[in-house]
Amino acid sequence: MSKLDELIAELCPDGVEYASIGSLIKRIRERGKDDISVQQVYVVSNSLGIVRAEDYRDNTIHSEDTSNYTIIRKNMFAYNPSRLNIGSIAMLKEEEPGLVSPMYVVFSIDETQIVKEYFEYVLKSPYVMNKINSYKEEGARFRFNFDRWDWIRIPLPPLPVQQEIVRILDNFTELTAELTAELTARRKQYEYYRDLLLTFDEDVPKVRLDKVTTITRGVRVVKSQLTETGTYPVFQNSMTPLGYYEKSNFNKNTVFIIGAGAAGETGYSKIDFWAADDCYCLTCSDRLQSRFLYYAILCQKSYLLSRVRRASVPRLARSVIERVEIPVPPLKEQERIVSILDRFDALCNDLTSGIPAEIEARQKQYEYYRDKLLSFKEVSA
């Protein structure tokens, strides 16, 4: 029997109390003008939590006059009532108090009844997020007013049980964070070796793409012709398939460059596919291996992006692609380089065997245990 099982058997064998979130929280209305010593401005992010405004964006987006901003202190929560449906709620973990935009709601919790970390996990659970969505204010725009927290009831096991649940879930999140950090380091390492391996002396010529490839624009398809699943993915204006089509117009192992939308991005399909009219596909001459071409163009990403015409729909001209120059070493050397970079690529990007696959597996494991650990039978009245 695990420690958690022992605690449940000892402290709440017949179920746990449920309480409305509203009964556990208190709204904070302290303003910047009430304490002028508080100067730091924070932003609530749905992915990063509460972060300093200057770390979130390069440009200052908050008002110079913060006297009407709401003060938030350590262990308080803030959320945007109009963006709560996408998870824009978090707890301030910094020691330094700060200010958040008047559009945010700030509240504290009753820590005599609920562990703050447990409360945070419950808030982000599918159960509570679904309740939030179902109780939103009716109308064209999403909005969740503070008084609606009274409508959501959550399990409130004894504090030792809450603390043990937090310990278990923290282990999962810490492992995922470690894997994510390793992935970031590996990707930097991969980019370093890619650039190093594709840098040659003058004895290896650089050649324009239109001299060693045949550049072909894709053919437009109507979205109504596509299905959500199928054999042949359709690439149009991003690296994510637009859908699936009954036919293909390019063979597997073909490099393509997006010409509109995600203009300048380079893809490589390991299966036959359909290229739509915003894709330029590159067929290699006998001097060039397709996978080597893919890595060589990735090294030119900054150049391609710098040539994108910024408009309502970003566009990259075919003439820019034609003028890109890449090194063309002997085929045997191309194969050697590809064998090295493919190993890095699999480690960094493969969703079946690399670090991303491990992160995805750990995330699913975390979600399974989170939902299981936050599900309790309600004690009979």
Position 86 confidence tier, pLDDT thresholds 50, 70, 90:
confident
pLDDT-based confidence at 58, cuts 50/70/90? low
Query: 34 lies in a domain?
Result: yes
**DSSP annotation string for 214-268:** EEEE-----GGG-BSS-SEEEESSSSS--EEES--SB-SSEEEEE-BSSTT-EEE
Do 132 and 210 reside in the same domain of the chain?
no
Q: What is the pLDDT of residues 250-285, one digit of tens each?
A: 999 999 999 999 999 999 999 999 999 999 999 999
Domain that residue 37 falls in: 17-153
In a domain, 9, yes or no: no
Question: Which one of 153, 169, 191 terminates a domain?
Answer: 153
- 146 and 223 fall within a common domain: no
Q: Which of 310, 328, 346 is the last residue of a domain?
A: 328
Pick from 153, 174, 192: which residue ends a domain? 153
Q: What is the band of 381 on the pLDDT scale with cuts at 50, 70, 90?
A: low
Q: Is residue 183 in a domain?
A: no
Q: What is the pLDDT of residue 62?
A: 65
Checking if the pLDDT of 87 tops 90, the result is no
Q: Is residue 237 part of a domain?
A: yes
Report yes or no: 227 and 343 within 8 Å, Cβ to Cβ.
Answer: no
Closest CA to 345 of 153, 202, 193, 117: 193
Distance CA 117, CA 111 (A): 10
Q: Per-residue pLDDT tens for 272-324?
A: 999 999 999 999 999 999 999 999 999 999 999 999 998 888 999 999 999 99
In a domain, 187, yes or no: no
Are 137 and 229 in the same domain?
A: no
β-bridge mates for residue 315, sequence order:
260, 309
233-237 average pLDDT score: 95
Task: Confirm whether 12 is domain-assigned.
Answer: no
Q: What is the pLDDT of residues 65-85, one digit of tens each?
A: 899 999 999 999 999 898 887
At residue 372, the pLDDT reads: 80
Q: How many whole angstroms separate alpha carbon 193 and alpha carbon 336? A: 13
DSSP 16: B
36 and 142, same domain (yes or no): yes
Asked if residue 92 belongs to a domain, the reply is yes
127 shares its domain with 236: no
pLDDT of residue 140: 65
User: What pLDDT shows up at residue 49?
Assistant: 87
pLDDT in tens, 135-155: 888 766 788 999 999 999 999
pTM beyond 0.75:
no
Residues 301 and 211 in one domain: yes
The number of domains in the chain is 2
Rounded Cα–Cα distance for residues 367 and 125 (Å): 9
Residues 21 and 149 in one domain: yes
Query: Are the CB atoms for 52 and 41 separated by under 8 Å?
Result: yes
Same domain, 24 and 138: yes
104 & 229 share domain: no
Residues 139 and 209 in one domain: no
- Which stretches of 124-228 are DSSP H helices? 126-134, 159-197, 209-212
Q: Please say if the pLDDT value at position 59 is more than 60.
A: no
What's the mean pLDDT in 196-205?
90
Establish if 182 belongs to a structural domain: no
Q: In this model, does residue 238 exceed pLDDT 60?
A: yes
Domain holding 295: CATH number? Answer: 3.90.220.20
Separation between Cα atoms, residue 275 and residue 218, nearest integer Å = 5
CA separation for the pair 328, 208 (Å, rounded): 10
Local structure of residue 177 (DSSP, 8 states): H
